[in-house]
Chains A and B, each alone.
Chain A
């Protein structure tokens, strides 16, 4: 089984904790992970802003980099969602049918982290230890594009020491939305503030989600509010063990 990590450009540049934890977790579970470094970005931000051809050119870096791998694993519902449910359709609309077939082939091999763990590795208890109160935000694209369902919470609930507090309106959008956060900054902030309020109300120490982008947005608001709540990617929690605990430092 040839497995490649797809850290995503955001994870690579701005939130490397998530892909690093993904590599450590998968290796702990006995998976040999490769990082084909020709990959850069899935092109989602360009596609979603209307720059279809530029976005598809970026997606092409993934097609080349992941050729020959049985499975591609990304710690992001949003970027995996774009690979699986967006780029091929747009390629067909732009008249790039052969490339769309390549994207379809890649889509069939690409998994969000919780899907890969539960569906491919058939594991729910990953042997993690994380003695903290957490709450989980179900990111939009993981829920509504990919349909990850309860996989992330099943994985979390199997972590020893972890106490999961229910989050009100858990699957309501946090307001990030890529360029939406900048183009409609006021609405985005209003949505994010409501999400942050729900998170604070849980009394959790840590907000967990499967997308770095949403975490950075809500985390930025929690930090500004000095809420004392840390953000962590699902992969970081699952990578944490007694021997190698994840640090829950000051937020």
Chain B
């Protein structure tokens, strides 16, 4: 239990996830790297979406201003989150919605399960939602005998294949169309209307099969479950942006609509959407505008759902808020731009991160929400070369590399006193922190060069297999810079140890 009273370990990895909290990122990544089909699928998909994003960001005359505005709005919200949430609650209630508060995943699942049960429905249709995946809602509903059908095309592919999502926006990014065809042929029939027996891997045919399958769900479902991209406090309006129209179907056709919304999704005013409705589509799908933007506030008699519920979810978010350095993590609008530009994500895919939030943002968000307790969660902040591509792409300017280092520092601070790596870095510091010891170590390097290899090139070192499996050890230099400088100074007859106070410096 943490200070907020929640149970750690409530962030799921998605249905069918194979991850285990004892398997750290490097080991999970090794499995992914060995899958050449996965590497090809990911490389192709991320390159395509990266180029699209780059083009629509470059053409925008005020991108940097929008980015700063988005960060500013979110920071203001986070500084007075309680005030904005209470206003949101008041306005939602004024519109006829019922507001629920969930401290953690268990509470959220219980509230939603009871709401569905009260309607008598045994199935619900779902709008793509990260928060419902985060709390493992589908599994909780299934345990209560309620079938939750994903209606986003990629989520449908993942659900039918008993697979786990590997991307925030494109959860089936690890699948190519031949694999999608096979999933549809094998699994659609058991979930409802079957795929045509002569289905090809033509994208239009695949989409048509999904449309037929889903239309049946839309027309029969009495209850829909969604998340929300934004929640406007002053008007009590929820917003969902999407590309396929499945969300619009779910948000308008059923009698009951239940939305699970993270507390950081609140924005103060309607006008704030001006910023995010420009930055989100350009950053996520690389479009200037997303095809469907749905807004709803409460109940309108005779029009749309007549029983509207909003569940506001904490699940670790207030713990993140309490860390003034890492608080900016909560600016995230789940666009996935950081995943698409990340050279690590591009090569491992999302499953290695063991969370519904993969990639750079997942590497900072997951350990904060879930707690830094397991080998997996302790390894996530290190799953980055700190190259900075994520921060550059982030539409709300989250300083992800800085936050990764902040989390690494937390991990090191909490490590046991006799930790092996800590001891190694202490030993290194003892050498690096003292010019004389460093000079002696450098002379040792020159000796090692003569011992290890006549040519100076070393192909394999037993103590460093993680380097030498794929890389030659560098040619060791004959002498260090320090030694070169001293020798040169001797020749020139000046003090080689020149400092600002030494006469004859800088020969």
With A16-B477, A185-B26 known as contacts, the answer to whether A54 contacts B467 (CB < 8 A) is: no
> Is there an interface contact between A144 and B442, defined as CB atoms closer than 8 Å?
no
B40 within 8 A of A: no
Write out the residue numbers on chain B whose beta carbons fall within 8 Å of the beta carbon of A189.
469-471
- B-contact bits for A166-198, CB 8 A (1 contact / 0 none): 000000110111111111111111111100000
Write out the residue numbers on chain B whose beta carbons fall within 8 Å of the beta carbon of A223.
457, 471-472
A93's contact among B325, B429, B481, B485, by CB below 8 Å, is which?
A: B325
Q: How far apart are B453's CB and chain A's nearest CB, in angstroms?
A: 12
B497 within 8 A of A: yes
> Is there an interface contact between A184 and B383, defined as CB atoms closer than 8 Å?
yes
A185's contact among B347, B386, B467, by CB below 8 Å, is which?
A: B467
Write out the residue numbers on chain A whose beta carbons fall within 8 Å of the beta carbon of B467.
181-182, 185, 220
Q: How far apart are B409's CB and chain A's nearest CB, in angstroms?
A: 4
With A20-B484, A36-B499, A93-B325 known as contacts, the answer to whether A140 contacts B344 (CB < 8 A) is: no
B90 within 8 A of A: no
Write out the residue numbers on chain A whose beta carbons fall within 8 Å of the beta carbon of B500.
2, 34, 36, 67-69
A187's contact among B29, B325, B386, by CB below 8 Å, is which?
A: B29
> Is there an interface contact between A52 and B412, defined as CB atoms closer than 8 Å?
yes
Write out the residue numbers on chain B whose beta carbons fall within 8 Å of the beta carbon of A176.
385
B334 within 8 A of A: no
Output the residue of B384, B385, B406 with the most chain A CB within 10 A.
B385
> Is there an interface contact between A144 and B469, defined as CB atoms closer than 8 Å?
no
> Is there an interface contact between A220 and B472, defined as CB atoms closer than 8 Å?
yes
A39 within 8 A of B: yes
> Is there an interface contact between B385 and A217, defined as CB atoms closer than 8 Å?
no
- B-contact bits for A130-160, CB 8 A (1 contact / 0 none): 0000000000110111000000000000000
Q: How far apart are B10's CB and chain A's nearest CB, in angstroms?
A: 25
CA distance A47 to B404 in the complex (A): 11
CA distance A50 to B347 in the complex (A): 25
- B-contact bits for A75-113, CB 8 A (1 contact / 0 none): 000000000001001100100000000000000000000
- B-contact bits for A51-74, CB 8 A (1 contact / 0 none): 110100110010001011100000
CA distance A97 to B354 in the complex (A): 38
> Is there an interface contact between B505 and A191, defined as CB atoms closer than 8 Å?
no
> Is there an interface contact between A54 and B426, defined as CB atoms closer than 8 Å?
yes
- B-contact bits for A207-251, CB 8 A (1 contact / 0 none): 000000000110111011000000000000000000000000000
Specify the chain A residue showing the minimal Cβ separation from B411. Answer: A50
Write out the residue numbers on chain B whose beta carbons fall within 8 Å of the beta carbon of A181.
466-467
A183's contact among B26, B429, B499, by CB below 8 Å, is which?
A: B26
A41 within 8 A of B: yes
Q: How far apart are A39's CB and chain B's nearest CB, in angstroms?
A: 7
CA distance A103 to B156 in the complex (A): 53
Q: Majority SS of interface residues in chain A? A: helix
CA distance A217 to B467 in the complex (A): 9
Output the residue of A38, A143, A144 with the most chain B CB within 10 A.
A144
Question: Chain A interface: which size bin?
Answer: 35 or more
Q: How far apart are A32's CB and chain B's nearest CB, in angstroms?
A: 5
Q: How far apart are A119's CB and chain B's nearest CB, in angstroms?
A: 21
Q: How far apart are A127's CB and chain B's nearest CB, in angstroms?
A: 21
B207 within 8 A of A: no
Write out the residue numbers on chain B whose beta carbons fall within 8 Å of the beta carbon of A38.
435, 499
CA distance A94 to B405 in the complex (A): 13
CA distance A223 to B496 in the complex (A): 35
> Is there an interface contact between B25 and A184, defined as CB atoms closer than 8 Å?
yes
A184's contact among B26, B426, B472, B485, by CB below 8 Å, is which?
A: B26
Give the tally of cross-chain contacts (CB within 8 A).
Answer: 214
CA distance A220 to B409 in the complex (A): 30
> Is there an interface contact between B496 and A37, defined as CB atoms closer than 8 Å?
yes
Task: Kindly identify, within residues 458 to 477 of chain B, every residue whose CB is under 8 Å from any CB belonging to chain A.
Answer: 459, 464, 466-467, 469-474, 476-477
B142 within 8 A of A: no
> Is there an interface contact between A190 and B347, defined as CB atoms closer than 8 Å?
yes
Specify the chain B residue showing the minimal Cβ separation from A11. Answer: B481
B382 within 8 A of A: yes
Task: Kindly identify, within residues 378 to 398 of chain B, every residue whose CB is under 8 Å from any CB belonging to chain A.
Answer: 382-389, 391-392
Q: Majority SS of interface residues in chain B? A: helix
- A-contact bits for B162-178, CB 8 A (1 contact / 0 none): 00000000000000000
B20 within 8 A of A: no
> Is there an interface contact between B466 and A224, defined as CB atoms closer than 8 Å?
no
A129 within 8 A of B: no
> Is there an interface contact between B433 and A41, defined as CB atoms closer than 8 Å?
yes
B433's contact among A58, A86, A89, A221, by CB below 8 Å, is which?
A: A58
Write out the residue numbers on chain A whose beta carbons fall within 8 Å of the beta carbon of B433.
40-41, 57-58, 61
Q: How far apart are B166's CB and chain A's nearest CB, in angstroms?
A: 16
Output the residue of B348, B429, B434, B441 with the most chain A CB within 10 A.
B429
Write out the residue numbers on chain B whose beta carbons fall within 8 Å of the beta carbon of A144.
387-389, 391-392
A165 within 8 A of B: no
With A12-B480, A13-B480, A216-B474 known as contacts, the answer to whether A65 contacts B499 (CB < 8 A) is: yes
Write out the residue numbers on chain A whose beta carbons fall within 8 Å of the beta carbon of B410.
50
Write out the residue numbers on chain B whose beta carbons fall within 8 Å of the beta carbon of A12.
438, 442, 480-482
> Is there an interface contact between B343 and A219, defined as CB atoms closer than 8 Å?
no
Write out the residue numbers on chain B whose beta carbons fall within 8 Å of the beta carbon of A14.
445, 474, 476-477
B484's contact among A16, A178, A185, by CB below 8 Å, is which?
A: A16
> Is there an interface contact between A220 and B471, defined as CB atoms closer than 8 Å?
yes
Q: How far apart are B254's CB and chain A's nearest CB, in angstroms?
A: 44
Q: How far apart are B302's CB and chain A's nearest CB, in angstroms?
A: 54
> Is there an interface contact between B438 and A9, defined as CB atoms closer than 8 Å?
yes
Write out the residue numbers on chain A whose beta carbons fall within 8 Å of the beta carbon of B421.
49
Q: How far apart are B411's CB and chain A's nearest CB, in angstroms?
A: 6
A163 within 8 A of B: no
Q: How far apart are B452's CB and chain A's nearest CB, in angstroms?
A: 14
Write out the residue numbers on chain B whose beta carbons fall within 8 Å of the beta carbon of A190.
33, 347
Write out the residue numbers on chain A whose beta carbons fall within 8 Å of the beta carbon of B413.
50, 52
B270 within 8 A of A: no
> Is there an interface contact between B26 and A186, defined as CB atoms closer than 8 Å?
yes
CA distance A32 to B411 in the complex (A): 44
B405's contact among A36, A50, A175, by CB below 8 Å, is which?
A: A50
> Is there an interface contact between B429 and A180, defined as CB atoms closer than 8 Å?
no
B33's contact among A35, A48, A172, A186, by CB below 8 Å, is which?
A: A186
B479 within 8 A of A: yes
With A140-B387, A186-B33, A223-B472 known as contacts, the answer to whether A50 contacts B506 (CB < 8 A) is: no
A177's contact among B386, B432, B476, B479, by CB below 8 Å, is which?
A: B386
Q: List 24 A-B contacts (CB under 8 A).
A: A12-B481, A13-B480, A16-B477, A19-B481, A20-B481, A39-B435, A49-B412, A50-B411, A52-B413, A61-B435, A89-B402, A140-B386, A140-B389, A144-B389, A177-B384, A177-B385, A177-B387, A180-B382, A183-B26, A184-B25, A184-B383, A191-B343, A221-B470, A223-B471
In the complex, the 6 A-B pairs of residues with the closest C-beta atoms, listed nearest first: A177-B385, A50-B412, A220-B471, A50-B408, A173-B387, A144-B388
